Amino acid sequence: MSGEHPGVAAALAARVRRLESLLEQRGLVDPQELDRALEAFLARASPANGTRLVARAWADEGFRARLLADANAALPELGLSMGGGLQEQRLKVVQNTEDSHNVIVCTLCSCYPIALLGPSPTWYKSEAYRSRVVRDPRAVLREFGFVPGPEVRINVWDSSAESRYMVLPRRPDGTEGFKEQALAALVTRNGLIGVAPV
Active site residues: 106, 109-111
Task: Find the part of the chain contacting another protein (CB under 8 A) among 31-39, 76-84, 154-162, 179-187.
Answer: 154-162
Residues 6 or more apart whose Cβ sits within 8 Å of residue 54: 168, 169, 183, 184, 187, 191, 192
Interacting residue with another protein among 63, 138, 178, 180 (CB under 8 A): 138
Closest to another protein by CB, 47 vs 194, is: 194
**18 with 146: CB under 8 angstroms?**
no
CB of 89 to another protein, least distance (A): 11
Q: How would you write 125-175 as a 3-class SS string?
A: HCHHHHHHHHHCHHHHHHHCCCCCCCCCEEEEEECCCCEEEEEECCCCCCC
Q: Which residues of 99-108 are buried (b: 16+ CB within 10 A; e: fewer)?
A: eebbbbbbbe
In the bound complex, what is the minimum distance in angstroms from residue 136's beta carbon to another protein? 7
Q: Should residue 92 be labelled a site residue for another protein when binding is judged by CB under 8 A?
A: yes
Cβ 87 to another protein, closest distance in Å? Answer: 10
Q: How far is CA 113 from CA 82, 122, 136, 151, in A?
A: 8, 15, 23, 29
Closest approach, Cβ 92 to another protein, in A, equals: 8
CB-CB contact of 55 with 197 (8 Å): no
Question: Any contact of residue 129 with another protein (CB under 8 A)?
Answer: no
- CB–CB of 55/181 below 8 Å? yes
Q: Does 68 bind another protein (CB under 8 A)?
A: no
Q: How many residues bind another protein (CB under 8 A)?
A: 23
**Residue 66 touches another protein, criterion: CB under 8 A:** no
Q: Could you say whether residue 136 binds another protein (CB under 8 A)?
A: yes
Q: Which stretch binds another protein (CB under 8 A): 38-46, 78-86, 158-166, 172-180?
A: 158-166
Q: Which is nearer to another protein, 18 or 90 (CB)?
A: 90
Site for another protein contains 161 (CB under 8 A) = yes
Of 96, 77, 81, 193, give the one whose Cα is nearest residue 149. 96
**Site residues, another protein (CB under 8 A):** 1-3, 90, 92, 107-108, 134-138, 153-163
